[in-house]
């Protein structure tokens, strides 16, 4: 035997890549078919599927399931609070909305001057270092909500949603 014969005999025969390629193509085809079936609504789930046209919205369904009525949101007028001289920022722009029970919406709207007074007094009294802290908004929000709940009727205000809190 010569050297070339031993080199050919030592190499194992090459395996075919055809099964691997067929598997990849088949997986892609099945994936695309499944996506199309879910997207077009052929399956009972996915973006194209709608249960009924008369079904309540998600918020209404949650309200029906929990037995609670839908909340009403009462906007608080935007506030600009002047910060102390030692502050890096000079003003705080604050805007929020109150989540109230539907029956109490008119009452809370009527008490808005008192609510603005409580918020303005509180925000001016808070140390600037606490306002500038990145984690301050959670604590400030809880404190402001508690003060608003003390001013308004019991159970009227459910939550305070801060929509703008900007230091200038």
Task: Clarify whether residues 27 and 74 are in a common domain.
Answer: no
Q: Is residue 111 part of a domain?
A: yes
Question: How many domains does the chain fold into?
Answer: 2
Q: Is residue 23 part of a domain?
A: yes
Task: Take residue 116 and report the two structure tokens written for it.
Answer: 């603005």
Task: Clarify whether residues 33 and 86 are in a common domain.
Answer: no
Task: Clarify whether residues 137 and 70 are in a common domain.
Answer: yes
Q: What is the pLDDT of residues 100-110, one digit of tens each?
A: 989 899 999 99
Dist CA 83 CA 90 (whole Å): 5
DSSP 48: T
Task: Clarify whether residues 153 and 109 are in a common domain.
Answer: yes
Task: Clarify whether residues 96 and 35 are in a common domain.
Answer: no
Dist CA 92 CA 164 (whole Å): 10
Q: Is residue 9 part of a domain?
A: yes
Q: Return phi, psi of residue 46, to 5°.
A: 110, 175
Q: Is residue 109 part of a domain?
A: yes
Dist CA 141 CA 134 (whole Å): 13
Task: Clarify whether residues 77 and 149 are in a common domain.
Answer: yes
Task: Clarify whether residues 79 and 50 are in a common domain.
Answer: no
Task: Take residue 20 and report the two structure tokens written for it.
Answer: 């691997």
Dist CA 70 CA 84 (whole Å): 40
Q: What is the pLDDT of residues 132-158, one digit of tens each?
A: 888 888 999 999 999 999 999 888 999
Q: Is residue 72 part of a domain?
A: yes
Dist CA 108 CA 94 (whole Å): 19
Task: Clarify whether residues 38 and 17 are in a common domain.
Answer: yes
Q: What is the pLDDT of residues 31-88, one digit of tens each?
A: 998 888 877 778 776 554 455 455 555 556 555 556 667 889 999 999 999 887 665 6
Task: Clarify whether residues 69 and 34 are in a common domain.
Answer: no
Distance spanning both ends of the chain, measured CA to CA: 89
Domain that holds residue 122: 65-167
Q: Is residue 99 part of a domain?
A: yes
DSSP 50: -
- In order of 22, 90, 130, 154, the CA distances from 80 in angstroms are 67, 10, 17, 28
Say what the pLDDT of residue 80 is: 93
Q: Is residue 60 part of a domain?
A: no
Contacts of 93 (CB under 8 A, 6+ apart): 78, 79, 80, 164, 165, 166, 167, 168
Task: Clarify whether residues 114 and 133 are in a common domain.
Answer: yes
Task: Clarify whether residues 154 and 84 are in a common domain.
Answer: yes
Helix (H, G, I), strand (E, B) or coil at 34: helix
Task: Clarify whether residues 145 and 88 are in a common domain.
Answer: yes
Q: Is residue 121 part of a domain?
A: yes
CATH code of 159's domain? 3.30.479.30
């Amino acid at each position: 035997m010569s050297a070339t014969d031993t080199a050919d005999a030592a190499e194992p025969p090459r395996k075919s890549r055809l099964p691997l390629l067929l598997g990849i193509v088949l997986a892609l085809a099945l994936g695309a078919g499944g996506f199309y079936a879910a997207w077009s609504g052929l399956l009972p789930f996915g973006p194209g599927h709608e249960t009924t046209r008369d079904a309540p919205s998600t918020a209404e369904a949650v309200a029906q399931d929990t037995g609670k009525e839908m909340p009403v949101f009462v906007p608080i007028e935007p506030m600009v609070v002047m910060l102390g001289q030692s502050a890096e920022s000079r003003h705080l722009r604050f805007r929020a909305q109150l989540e109230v029970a539907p029956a109490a919406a008119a009452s809370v709207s009527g008490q808005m001057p008192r609510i603005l007074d409580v918020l303005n007094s509180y925000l001016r009294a808070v140390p600037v270092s606490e306002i500038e802290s990145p984690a301050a908004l959670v604590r400030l929000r809880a404190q402001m909500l508690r003060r608003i709940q003390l001013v308004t009727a019991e159970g009227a205000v459910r939550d305070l949603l801060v929509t703008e809190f900007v230091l200038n």
